[in-house]
Amino acid sequence: MKDLLRLRTSLTEEIETLLNEQIKVEAYSSSLYLAMSSWCDRNGYDNSAGYLEKQSGEEREHMLKLFRYVNDLGGSAVSPEVINIPQEFDSFKGVFEMALQQEIQVTSNFNRIADRCQKANDYVTFQFLQWFLKEQVEEEYVARRILELFEVIGEEGTGRWEIDKHIPKVSFGISGE
């Protein structure tokens, strides 16, 4: 019966499982960014709160992109259960350190899935993943640039207020790609 069900999809069990795990990670990112947004809002960093809320929405879109792909290929996309979202953060800078850490982890996940796709000769999924790999370059770039603001502007005096003002303006590349 299980073999028969597999005929409905060209996804191997391994790739389907990896994609469902990544659906969960994207959902986690979305909830994490939303928690960060709330923390920033409560602590007076309004611009960062808005930026992080927008990021949370983008992570949900990533989650749905993967979700739809799994079902489109005849697999079973699993609605993710997300737990253990931190609601408190050590500091304003700590929020963005965690954001960069999360993005680096996600890049490593996608590299691993792409590697498994090649080994399984799943070039359909491998090609689908290219969008995410490209997106991660942008996500990591923005996260790093934001952290640099803490060094460049400095946190003393009105520094944090100034950093908060700059965060939504950080974007990838001057070509606007």
Where along the sequence are the contacts to Fe ion (CB under 5 A)?
A: 26, 59, 62, 139
- Nearest residue (CB) to Fe ion, 98 versus 153: 98
Closest among 61, 42, 40 to 51, alpha carbons compared: 40
> What's the min distance (Å) between Cβ of 154 and Fe ion?
27
Residue type, 98: M
Q: Nearer Cβ to Fe ion, position 14 or 140? A: 140
CB 29 to Fe ion: min, Å: 5
**Least spacing, CB of residue 62 vs Fe ion, in Å:** 4
26/122 with CB nearer Fe ion: 26
Q: What is the DSSP letter of 167?
A: G
Residue nearest to Fe ion (CB): 62
The CA distance from 78 to 86, in Å, is 23
Specify whether the CB–CB gap between 66 and 26 falls below 8 A: yes
Give the torsion sign (CA, 102, 103, 108, 110): positive
Choose between 10 and 130: whose C-beta lies nearer to Fe ion: 130
